[in-house]
Amino acid sequence: MVPNSHFTRRTLMQAAAGLAVSGLAPRAVWAQERKVKPAPDMPEPKYIDTNGIRMAVYEQGEGVPVVLCHGFPELAFSWRHQVKGLSEAGFRAIAPDQRGYGLTGGPEDVSTYDLTHLCDDLAGMLDALEIDKAVFCGHDWGGGVVWSMVRLHPDRCLGVIGVNTPCQRPPGMPAVTPSEPSLIVMSPNYYVNQFQKPGRAEAVLEKDVRKTFKMTLTRGDIWNVDKFKELPADSPERQLNLLAMLERDTFRGEAFLPEEVFDYFVETFEVTGFTGGLNWYRNIGRMGQVFADAKWEIDVPCLYVGAEHDVILRPSSADGMEDFIEDLEKYTVKDCGHWTQQEKPEELNRVMIDWLKRKVSV
């Protein structure tokens, strides 16, 4: 899960900058050596050498390329519905297991998981696939990557789709007060803070991987705005103290994934662990350095898709994006939590395909 955008881009970034980023992960995360299975119901993956890693890429269809970037704790497999839907609609769907995840894995050095590396991975992937430009679509942390891609590699972008994740406001531009206050009670227990120290979150997340996904990949409970508001301010839920929540034996969230889909996530992360994805969080403090020379104005068509019950990335977190994106459309998926492309795949496909055909189809 990507951090709340307002805390990440403002207060949280300054706090995270003071946290030491260790150069040593608890263990290597090279997945190819650890018997990760290819995702079911997906095309056969191909392997591409890019930016010092061997990236697993699932690709299907012909036409305008659409690169699908997953979040935490997810995989290219999270886009299985969109790979099928986009390819059938006349687009070339490309979904990589990104650095540190699944069949791709990644190096031990924590500093190689910043947004520069993550975006350079995708630029190198385009080179290997002989693609000049693509539409970049990202969910959760993948949304952070694609909004960074249009600023760090604007010459490679035909357009951007952010699913749940809004775009960072340019520095120096007057702040916008969101139309609704954040529901999260910030404290040292906030999960992003807990993820900083190598090994701390791994010890909890990897103790029982099935239990970890049983809590996170759900709808309702913590992914319901009305229920979330009713919880006490000092509760682990309101503080998003995910590690404390995982210490419980029962969860109230509703499972919505088929058992075989759920099993693939569990089996994959039982092999790879969570270190690769956690390392993305451990580079939050370096964002200012990454964007020092970025192109802040965005002049390609953009689509933001929010979800009504995402308590971390509220649809209101996209307020003010019109100030720096000339061609922007917004859409909110009703009765949906954080895992939009898996929870409401048909609706998301419809919205994406309609936008793509109007804005970038050639």
Catalytic residues: 140, 281, 338
| C-beta separation of 33 from 104 below 8 A | no
- Write the burial class of residue 173 (CB in 10 Å: 0-12 exposed, 13-18 middle, 19+ buried): exposed
Euclidean distance between CA atoms 95 and 117, whole angstroms = 17
| C-beta separation of 138 from 144 below 8 A | yes
| C-beta separation of 97 from 75 below 8 A | yes
Residues 6+ apart with CB under 8 A from 309: 219, 223, 224, 225, 335, 336, 337, 338
Q: Residue 61 is which amino acid?
A: G
134 sits in which H/E element: strand 134-139
| Phi, psi torsion values for 102, nearest 5 degrees | 50, -130
Residue 65 preceded by cis peptide, ω within 30: no
How many Cα atoms within 13 Å fall on the side-chain side of residue 248? 14
